[in-house]
Amino acid sequence: MIKIENLDCMYKTSNNQMVQALKGINLTINPGEFVAIIGANGSGKSTLAKHMNGIMLPKEGDVFVFGKNTKEEQNNLFIKKSVGMVFQNPDNQFVTSVVEEDIAFALENLEIPFDEMHERVRMALECVGMYEYKDASIESLSGGQKQKIAIAGAIVMQPKFLVFDEPTSMLDPQSREEICSLLKRLNETMNIGIIFITQFMEEVALAKRVIVMNDGKIVKDISPGCLFEDIDFLESMKLKAPQITYFCLELNKLGENINPGILDLKECADELAAALKGNKL
Amino acid sequence: MLNNMMVGQFFAADSIIHKLDPRIKLLLTFVYTLLMFFIESMFIFTFNILAIIMVYKLARVPLKILIKSIKRMLPILLISAGINIFLIQGETVFKFLGINITKQGLCMVSTMIVRIICLISGMLLLLYTTSPAELVAAIEKILKPLKIFKVSPEEIAIMFSIALHFVPVLLLEAERIMNAQRARGAKFDSKHLKEKLKAYITIVIPLLISTSNRANDLAIAMESRCYHGGENRTRFKILHYSAYDLYALLISLLYVLLLLIFNKLDFFKIVM
Ligand SMILES: Nc1ncnc2c1ncn2[C@@H]1O[C@H](COP(=O)(O)OP(=O)(O)OP(=O)(O)O)[C@@H](O)[C@H]1O
Ligand SMILES: [Mg+2]
């Protein structure tokens, strides 16, 4: 469980002004949850994420990971190990150029013995479907493959939570989809709690819970379906709903009765087909 | 995969050379490098190139990769050769642009090119057949004595590994910035030295900024993966010597002696 209480965060900018990036955040994330965090640029998403595994320590407020305060030095490794992180630019996350050796990095730091280390690296690679690339040079991989290696590098720690800070924003659509289904699988089969920061509204639909941030505050904590129905709210936050929601709303304007909270393409098609049949009868 | 290979990146294969202990490989590469500076005769260099080709075959590293890397360095090689060839005095063979090209000049420059190619091939072989983790482990072992001076060999070794990984990344980045600046009118190909210099300066600042951003990201990523300094880490690769290492040492010793003796005997020095 990640518990954040009254968290404030200030940055000092280069011209000595203070920017308040987080304002009184209260948030609890339970094990196994899949949470999306959205918000306009500069709304404080990355700053919040960096507090979740103790990369940034709160000056005001507290962050607890399974009851352990991130401020206390002796909890450091436990917290880093429990909450893994994957970042936007895959190129900046690797410490070496051979796939399996990079994945082993966290285990080396955690003083895992040789045999167990090799076993866990193998399992992590199999989990992301990249075992055949274990000897490959990271440079030779595509962006999506690199991101999978970065994910393997985090799950090798056997974390309870994984925080993703816009992991798909530099990828092509196909790789993006692959990463998304990987996240879903990690959440469903391994029960890893996922905190997923994204700018792609279609991806938000993966989550069961969405947190909307604006100007350093959490302004909504809701399910994706309910969130997208309120287009005016989204647009006031400089966000947009997925295409499918706009489509359903347009249909509703035309007098069809389609639930605008639908996010699944197939479900939408089914309802539409049913409605069309109803018209014919 | 071959297409994306950068200069000097590890090439995984199942070979005797890959299995050698990286400490031995580092030592042998060092000795080999020294040896190349002792040799003067074209004949011995040719012999040495044949030997290198054999070792590459033994290592199961395709020669294609080596040739590609050498090709990339060719422009630098040719430029320095071009400068040298005009500067050496001696018997004139022919005139080029009104400058005498001498026999000694040709001789010296061709030796220089072959020597550099031999050097590059040897060093690349080390990088092709030794994974970064092994290299790091070897460097760490070799630098152990530095501990007396409170220098952490573990940290130096990690720095080395990161540098090895980021050099190609930054080279690509430089190329990207160069293209971006070219689109904005920077004249990298200008004949005026001043303009050319100005153009190159426009790469430096963006490259510094992007490098510092990358370093920042990397530090956060490392911290997230539980990095807490060089002490108290276990290793993915554990080094141990095997019988192969002994054979490799013996064969190399024989080879060094052979070349040195050939080099001493004048009749192998072919007259150009
Ligand atoms: N290192 C820093 N120094 C100064 N100000 C910063 C720093 N990092 C972030 N900020 C400021 O803090 C605020 C929140 O930034 P943050 O990166 O958390 O936003 P974000 O929601 O992740 O934005 P984005 O969508 O662009 O990633 C912004 O106003 C930003 O300018
Ligand atoms: Mg961000």
Check pocket membership of A47 for ligand 1, CB cut-off 6 A: yes
- Which of A105, A112, A121 minimises the CB distance to B225? A105
Query: Distance between CA atoms of B2 and B10, rounded to whole angstroms?
Result: 12
Check pocket membership of A10 for ligand 1, CB cut-off 6 A: no
Average pLDDT over residues A114-123: 96
Same domain, B19 and B122: yes
Supply the pLDDT for residue A280: 59
Domain that residue B98 falls in: 1-131+238-272
Cβ-based contacts of B227 with chain A (< 8 Å): 105, 109
Q: Where are the domains of chain A?
A: 2-229, 242-281
Same domain, B196 and B256: no
Q: What is the pLDDT of residues B160-181, one digit of tens each?
A: 888 888 887 888 888 888 888 8
Check pocket membership of A19 for ligand 1, CB cut-off 6 A: yes
Supply the pLDDT for residue B135: 87
Q: Map tokens 């190129």 to a residue.
A: A91
- Which of A92, A98, A153 minimises the CB distance to B133? A98
pLDDT-based confidence at B269, cuts 50/70/90?
Answer: low
Q: Structure pTM?
A: 0.83
pLDDT-based confidence at A119, cuts 50/70/90?
Answer: very high
Same domain, B224 and B246: no
Same domain, B254 and B174: no
Contacts of A222 (CB under 8 A, 6+ apart): A209, A210, A212
Q: What distance in Å separates residue A107's CA from the closest CA in chain B?
A: 8
pLDDT-based confidence at B8, cuts 50/70/90?
Answer: low
Cβ-based contacts of A77 with chain B (< 8 Å): 226, 228
Query: Distance between CA atoms of B57 and B16, rounded to whole angstroms?
Result: 11
Identity of residue A136: A
Same domain, B224 and B180: yes
Supply the pLDDT for residue A241: 84
Pairing relationship of beta strands A193-197 and A83-86 according to DSSP bridges: unpaired
Q: What is the pLDDT of residues B97-125, one digit of tens each?
A: 777 777 788 888 888 889 999 999 999 99
Percent of residues, chain A, with pLDDT higher than 90: 67
Cβ-based contacts of A93 with chain B (< 8 Å): 217-218, 221
Cα–chain center distance at B186: 31
Mutate to test the pocket of ligand 1, among A10, A11, A12 (most ligand atoms within 8 A of CB): A11
Domain presence at residue B256: yes
Supply the pLDDT for residue B272: 44
Domain presence at residue B267: yes
Cα A224 to averaged position of ligand 2 atoms, centre (Å): 20
CB pairs under 8 A between A and B: 120
Helix (H) or strand (E) segment spanning residue B116:
helix B103-129
Whether the predicted pLDDT of B266 surpasses 70: no
Same domain, B187 and B270: no
pLDDT-based confidence at B203, cuts 50/70/90?
Answer: confident
Query: Distance between CA atoms of B176 and B11, rounded to whole angstroms?
Result: 26
Q: What is the pLDDT of residues B119-147, one digit of tens each?
A: 999 999 999 999 888 888 898 888 888 88
Cα A137 to averaged position of ligand 2 atoms, centre (Å): 28
Supply the pLDDT for residue B6: 56
Query: Distance between CA atoms of A158 and A190, rounded to whole angstroms?
Result: 10
Mutate to test the pocket of ligand 1, among A45, A163, A238, A239 (most ligand atoms within 8 A of CB): A45
> Could you tell me which chain B residue has the CA closest to the CA of A105?
B225
**Of the listed ranges A237-241, B18-22, B244-248, the one predicted with least confidence:** A237-241
Percent of residues, chain B, with pLDDT higher than 70: 94
Domain presence at residue B139: no
The total number of structural domains that make up chain B: 2
Tokens of A127: 């989990």
Q: What distance in Å separates residue A104's CA from the closest CA in chain B?
A: 6
Domain presence at residue B96: yes
Distances from the Cα of B143 to the Cα of A30, A249, B60, B194, angstroms: 47, 68, 30, 44
Here the ipTM equals 0.88
**Of the listed ranges B114-118, B139-143, B213-217, B263-267, the one predicted with least confidence:** B263-267
Whether the predicted pLDDT of B4 surpasses 70: no
| Beta-bridge mates of residue A220 | A212
Is residue A157 within 8 Å of A116, Cβ to Cβ? no
Contacts of B66 (CB under 8 A, 6+ apart): B56, B121, B124, B128
> Strand, helix or coil at A264?
coil
Interface test with A, best of B224, B235, B240 (most A CBs within 10 A): B224
Percent of residues, chain B, with pLDDT higher than 90: 31
Query: For residues B195 and B223, which has the higher predicted lDDT (pLDDT)?
Result: B223
Q: Which of A191, A189, A221, A185 is nearest to A206 (CA)?
A: A185
Is residue A236 within 8 Å of A230, Cβ to Cβ? no
pLDDT-based confidence at B198, cuts 50/70/90?
Answer: confident
Whether the predicted pLDDT of A201 surpasses 70: yes
Helix (H) or strand (E) segment spanning residue A26:
strand A18-29
**Of the listed ranges A109-113, A200-204, B53-57, the one predicted with least confidence:** A200-204
pLDDT-based confidence at A10, cuts 50/70/90?
Answer: very high
Same domain, B168 and B52: no
Same domain, B48 and B109: yes
Cα B89 to averaged position of ligand 2 atoms, centre (Å): 64
Cβ-based contacts of A159 with chain B (< 8 Å): none
Percent of residues, chain A, with pLDDT higher than 70: 99
The domain A2-229: what is its CATH number? 3.40.50.300
Ligand 1, closest atom to CA A43? 21
Same domain, B72 and B165: no
Query: Distance between CA atoms of A49 and A45, rounded to whole angstroms?
Result: 6
Q: What is the pLDDT of residues A11-52, one digit of tens each?
A: 988 888 899 999 999 999 999 999 999 999 999 999 999 999
Distances from the Cα of B70 to the Cα of A92, B8, B35, B74, angstroms: 28, 10, 20, 6
Same domain, B88 and B210: no
Domain presence at residue B145: no
Average pLDDT over residues B72-88: 79
Average pLDDT over residues A43-66: 94
- Which of B9, B169, B234 minimises the CB distance to A114? B234
Q: What distance in Å separates residue B176's CA from the closest CA in chain A?
A: 15
Whether the predicted pLDDT of A245 surpasses 80: yes
- Which of A55, A91, A111 minimises the CB distance to B233? A111
Domain presence at residue B245: yes
Same domain, B243 and B221: no
Cα B174 to averaged position of ligand 2 atoms, centre (Å): 25
Supply the pLDDT for residue A97: 85
Check pocket membership of A44 for ligand 1, CB cut-off 6 A: yes
* Helices marked H in A132-261: 143-155, 173-189, 201-204, 224-229, 231-236, 243-253
Q: What is the mean pLDDT of chain B?
A: 84
Is A91 within 8 Å of B214 when comparing Cβ atoms? yes
- Which of B12, B222, B226 minimises the CB distance to A135? B12
Domain presence at residue B99: yes
Supply the pLDDT for residue B187: 80
Same domain, B260 and B180: no
pLDDT-based confidence at B1, cuts 50/70/90?
Answer: very low
